[in-house]
Chain A
Amino acid sequence: MGGLKITDVSFSYGAKTALNGVSFEVKPGQFCALLGPNGAGKSTLFALLTRLFTTRQGQITVAGADLARQPRVALAQIGVVFQQSTLDLDLSVRRNLRYFAALHGLSGAQAEVRILAALERLDMAERADERARDLNGGHRRRAEIARALIHDPAVLLLDEPTVGLDAASRRAITNHVHDLAQQTGKTVLWATHLTDEVQDSDQLVVLHRGQILANDSCATVRGDRPLADDFLLRTGAAT
């Protein structure tokens, strides 16, 4: 029972509403792009999904576990890549991953096997002993995605993971994660404001000013228009 289900979630910072009745579901093996301009509420949704905040309005279910009622079961099923890098730059990639493995209760040989497997999946195995500081931006991101996979979560959350990367690295990482969803059956929620990261077969959720404007396959949402035009039209019309 994988998947991610968000039902009628609302959240406000004091008087300012950040999310208003947000509902959508992502099935296992599905790559879902959460597309929205800056300030749409993507980061707030991610904060709720990772339990940095909680809200009384609405329900979040991760792989069948209610995040409010069984937070630890739900969190164990989530792998997260945050917008800002959370690598300790002075430590090697392997040490960074070991630290994270330990936070999930993995140590010793078991942790090493999983770390290696996660790094291999992202083509990062040969960089395991390099210092995070010596990696380029794209490789750092890959190391973080590998880290998010160590505990074999059912759901992978990525909050604008390609920010600050060049076009080639951006494409490589986007492709990697698409493959990951297809090959491993993980549920992927990928927040972005860049339309070229979304493929036609992806599920597309358009978020604007805390509300969902569209939720369907990307091909259906955009119709005959290029996605970039469609996105501007939707978010522009809603201005």
Chain B
Amino acid sequence: MRTAFIALAAIIQREALRFIRQRERFIAALVRPLVWLIVFAAGFRAALGLSITPPYQTYITYEIYIVPGLCGMIILFNGMQSALSLVYDREMGSMRLLLTSPLPRWWLLLCRLIAATVISGLQVYAFLAIAAIYGIHLPWQGYVLVLPALIIAGLTLGALGLALSSLIRQLENFAGVMNFVIFPMFFLSSALYPLWKMAESSELLHDICAVNPFTHVVELIRFALYGQLNLTALGWSALAGVVFLALALWGYDPSHGLTRHKR
């Protein structure tokens, strides 16, 4: 038991050190959502009318609407980036080093996932702090209550990255991940526009968005930021997380995953 936590602490520390060292990665992780918030949202504010839908109790500006989606975006990018670093690691052999530890493999992978979630959480709070300086204030309880939602979001999207890293060999190319995972998940979700707005233009698009796990992750964060629990979003996010994690564990199982393909 103690052994397991020593390993967890070491893996988190290693990821954190690596993240701090890659300063450009931290800045990029902050600039990306801030550009959306400050440039995109300002332009869109005029074009998009928002009605009062839960969890909002009053008319809100578009900037306020997209904050949860941008929190989700940070976590999504981070989950994918962590997956890429896994692939890169595996190439470099340090993933192999990790897997030679006598701890159970599922625990080692979970440690990586928890480490990535910690990094995502720090980034989201840094983003929320800058957004607050920019003038976007949320209820103060929201900043605390969003933490469990961020943890679930981090684990779910991190597990997706982990599953992809074990199942898809071509992940080395970040452009591929952008095109086939990040963009579809982000645009076909409630991150940028509410689902009812989507339904106005296309029922099909609405349905796709409604089954996208990223939508549920974003809604979980959105409600949590206003001190509310969206049980539907929680259920779907957790279910997606369990499925992604099962896929990842399968992928990293030495007897069948694609890790056995010849390098």
Q: Tell me if B23 counts as interface (CB < 8 A to partner A).
A: no
Measured between beta carbons, the chain A residues less than 8 angstroms from B14 are: 88, 99
Tell me the smallest distance from the CB of A200 to a CB of chain B, in Å.
Answer: 32
Measured between beta carbons, the chain A residues less than 8 angstroms from B254 are: 51-54
Q: Tell me if B137 counts as interface (CB < 8 A to partner A).
A: no
Measured between beta carbons, the chain B residues less than 8 angstroms from A100 are: 97
**Which of A13, A75, A90, A106 is B6 in contact with, Cβ under 8 Å?**
A106
Contact mask A156-197 → B, CB, 8 Å, 1/0?
000000000000000000000000000000000000000000
Binds A, one of B67-75, B101-109, B160-168: B101-109
Q: Is the CB of A76 within 8 A of B102?
A: yes
Q: Tell me if A57 counts as interface (CB < 8 A to partner B).
A: no
**Interchain CA distance A54-B4 in the complex, whole Å:** 24
**Interchain CA distance A181-B135 in the complex, whole Å:** 66
Q: Tell me if A20 counts as interface (CB < 8 A to partner B).
A: no
**Interchain CA distance A180-B102 in the complex, whole Å:** 23
- CB-contacts of A81-105 with B (<8 A): 82-86, 88, 90-91, 98-100, 102-105
Q: Tell me if A69 counts as interface (CB < 8 A to partner B).
A: no
Q: Is the CB of A80 within 8 A of B97?
A: yes
Query: Given A53-B259, A80-B97, A102 and B10 touching (CB < 8 A)?
Result: yes
Q: Is the CB of B261 within 8 A of A13?
A: yes
Tell me the smallest distance from the CB of B230 to a CB of chain A, in Å.
Answer: 38
**Interchain CA distance A102-B97 in the complex, whole Å:** 12
Q: Tell me if A73 counts as interface (CB < 8 A to partner B).
A: yes
Tell me the nearest residue of chain B to A82, going by C-beta: B93
Query: Given A80-B97, A105-B3, A99 and B261 touching (CB < 8 A)?
Result: no
Q: Is the CB of B6 within 8 A of A107?
A: yes
**Interchain CA distance A135-B36 in the complex, whole Å:** 43
**Interchain CA distance A163-B98 in the complex, whole Å:** 22
Measured between beta carbons, the chain B residues less than 8 angstroms from A53 are: 254-255, 259-260
Contact mask B1-19 → A, CB, 8 Å, 1/0?
0111011011101100110
B-to-A contact residues, CB < 8 Å: 2-4, 6-7, 9-11, 13-14, 17-18, 21, 91-94, 96-104, 108, 254-255, 259-262
A-to-B contact residues, CB < 8 Å: 13, 16, 18, 50-54, 72-73, 75-76, 78, 80, 82-86, 88, 90-91, 98-100, 102-107
Contacts A52-B259, A103-B101 known; list 5 others, CB within 8 Å: A52-B96, A53-B259, A80-B96, A83-B93, A86-B92
